[in-house]
Amino acid sequence: MTTPSLNVKSSTLLEGRSKKNSRKLNNFKLLYEYLNKNKRTNSDKLISIILPVYNEENTIKTVLENLPKNESIEVIVVDDHSTDMSLNEIKKVRRDGDIHIIEHKINQGYGKALLTGIRHSQGEIIITMDSDGQHRAEDIFNLVKPIIQGDADIAIGSRYKGTFNYKLPVATRLGEALMEVIIILLFGQKIKNNQSGFRALHKRTRNIFENIRFKGYAFTTELILQAVLRRYKIEEVPINLASREFGSSYIILRKLILMLFLCIILYFFKKIKRILFKK
């Protein structure tokens, strides 16, 4: 016999799934309306979605299958020399031929994988998202919206403005809080979720990537600092992060901290140089 408490729990779970599906359908509808309104020819790509992949065989297929489908959207997957079955899982996905798979013959790092994808992208708006299943496809419209409206050149997805359903490590939160303060004090830009990999960029910002020096996870901070120095408008938008179900992060914390501080020092001196020489 089913107990009342179980009935209530099941009802709450179903209600939560219903709301999630409703939000996803609504956001996809709004995204498709924008794409259909702005496309010029069937071959035009208005949005490029770039996913760097390294050993995500358990999640990448589902991530790809959940992405919005439209002739104006291209999906670029950069496999950074995975040693598991990630590449096979990618090739199983059927999306009417709109997945462009690029393989790195040696592992080159998170930032380098994104740079490869960006270099091959054609879209007016470039989306980057992780392949571990934590980012939700329905939030893509939240990222695109401020760029469409002209309020931002770059939109960064923030779990602190949205939600996350997992216990955030204290070291991660303290690290981001410290970076937030440093970036505010030295560069005048507030970004709480400054290590977010879920972002949207207008194609006019592509010059940021011409001289990227940090090809690992510090790429995320370098992108922000490059954008600040070039006076691009940055906006944080709410996203909803899920917990990671498989595997673990490949970030080596001590190495990341060192790279982040080197990055900040480098770009602070660039800022001082620009002020002194009025560049």
What residue ranges do the domains of the chain occupy?
17-168+192-214+231-247
pLDDT in tens, 127-136: 999 999 999 9
What pLDDT is recorded for position 191? 94
Dig out the tokens for 249 from the structure: 């992060």
What pLDDT is recorded for position 221? 93
Closest to 156 in 3D by CA, of 172, 137, 143:
143
Closest to 116 in 3D by CA, of 199, 43, 45, 51:
51
Cα separation, 49 vs 14, in Å, equals 30
Domain 17-168+192-214+231-247 has CATH 3.90.550.10: yes
Cα separation, 134 vs 138, in Å, equals 12
Q: Determine the straight-line distance between the first and last CA of the chain, rounded to whole angstroms.
A: 75
Cα separation, 241 vs 155, in Å, equals 16
DSSP secondary structure string for all residues of 49-81: EEEEESS-TTTHHHHHHHS---TTEEEEEEE--
CA 34 from centre of chain: 20
Length of the chain: 279
What pLDDT is recorded for position 13? 46
Centre a 10 Å sphere on the Cβ of residue 36 and count the other Cβ atoms it contains: 12
What pLDDT is recorded for position 82? 96
Closest to 177 in 3D by CA, of 191, 162, 198:
191
pLDDT in tens, 173-207: 888 889 899 999 999 999 999 889 999 999 999 99
pLDDT lower than 70: segments of the chain: 1-20, 42, 95-97, 247-253, 279
Closest to 203 in 3D by CA, of 46, 77, 42, 67:
46
State the helix-helix crossing angle for 219-229 and 110-120, rounded to 10 degrees: 50
- Count of alpha carbons within 13 Å of 201, Cβ hemisphere only? 26
Listed as own residue / partner, the contacts of 189-193 with beta carbons closer than 8 Å and 24 or more positions apart are 189/224, 189/228, 189/234, 191/156, 191/224, 191/234, 191/236, 192/158, 192/160, 192/161, 192/236, 193/156, 193/157, 193/158, 193/159, 193/160, 193/161, 193/236
What pLDDT is recorded for position 168? 74
Q: Could you write out the three-class secondary structure of 224-240?
A: HHHHHHCCCCEEEEEEE
Coil vs helix vs strand at 100: strand
Coil vs helix vs strand at 109: coil
